[in-house]
């Protein structure tokens, strides 16, 4: 799989991997490590989400396999202290690797989400608000209906916004390039005329 955009689209999106698919989206994810200015297509976002989900499932299966193996190999039954003692250094290494992985993908993940929102025509600052709302739900009574509703509302809004189709890329006419904040239906000559008047 490859990148399905031309150089003009990549320049307009401020993302040399714009519309990357398949394994190329992994290269795009790390290639745009701290790119918070560009735009990312749905394919870039959802391919990374798929790969992270698959990796999380594999890691969970490996962890459960190790725990079940330790239980089966133990003659004393299920004693949490003995179980984790038998896993020992392997468990510590596993947990360190998981933490390192999640720290390594934190900034590119935030950058990807900000670019995806911008590509869908949503202001980037909506994402931090959603994170604050989700985090604020943790202050509510644990397991309460209110906490669940707020968490689900925040997560569902993130999914919906990430599913929005891409807005048209900025258009270049008469040497003027529209800013990402302008609607593609706005006639750029209006702004060019104002610039000419100022000279």
Domain ranges of the chain: 7-119, 123-167, 170-199
Highest mean pLDDT among 22-36, 77-91, 165-179 belongs to 22-36
What pLDDT was estimated at residue 89? 73
Q: What percent of the chain has pLDDT over 70?
A: 77
Report whether pLDDT(195) > 50.
Answer: no
- pLDDT tens for residues 135-172? 999 898 888 899 999 999 999 999 999 999 999 887 66
Query: For the chain, what is the radius of gyration of the CA atoms?
Result: 23
* Element housing 173 (H / E): strand 172-173
For the ranges 99-103, 132-136, 177-181, the lowest mean pLDDT is seen at 177-181
For the segment 63-69, the average pLDDT, to the nearest whole number, is: 79
Report whether pLDDT(25) > 70.
Answer: yes
Distance CA(198)–CA(190), nearest Å, equals 13
46, 69, 127, 169 from 12: Cα distances, Å: 21, 53, 22, 6
**pLDDT: is 89 or 65 the higher one?**
65
Statement: the pTM of the whole predicted model exceeds 0.85: no
Task: For residue 189, name the pLDDT band (cuts at 50, 70, 90).
Answer: low
Distance CA(179)–CA(168), nearest Å, equals 12
């Amino acid at each position: 799989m490859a990148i399905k955009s031309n150089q003009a689209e990549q320049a307009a999106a401020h993302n040399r991997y714009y519309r990357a698919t398949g394994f190329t989206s992994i290269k795009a994810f790390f290639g745009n490590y701290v790119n918070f200015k560009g735009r990312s297509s749905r394919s870039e976002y959802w391919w990374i989400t798929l790969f992270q989900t698959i990796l999380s499932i594999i890691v969970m299966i490996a962890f459960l396999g190790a725990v079940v193996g330790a239980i089966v190999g133990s003659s004393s039954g299920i004693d949490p202290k003995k179980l984790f003692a038998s896993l020992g250094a392997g468990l510590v290494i596993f947990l360190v690797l998981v933490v390192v992985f999640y720290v390594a993908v934190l900034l590119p993940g935030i950058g990807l989400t900000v670019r995806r929102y911008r590509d869908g025509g949503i202001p980037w600052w909506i994402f931090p608000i959603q994170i604050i709302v989700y985090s604020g739900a943790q202050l509510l009574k644990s397991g309460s209906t209110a906490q669940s509703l707020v968490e689900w509302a925040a997560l569902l809004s993130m999914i919906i916004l990430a599913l929005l189709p891409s807005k048209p890329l900025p258009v270049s006419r008469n040497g003027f390039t529209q800013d990402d904040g302008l609607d593609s239906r706005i006639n750029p000559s209006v702004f060019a005329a104002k610039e000419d008047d100022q000279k």
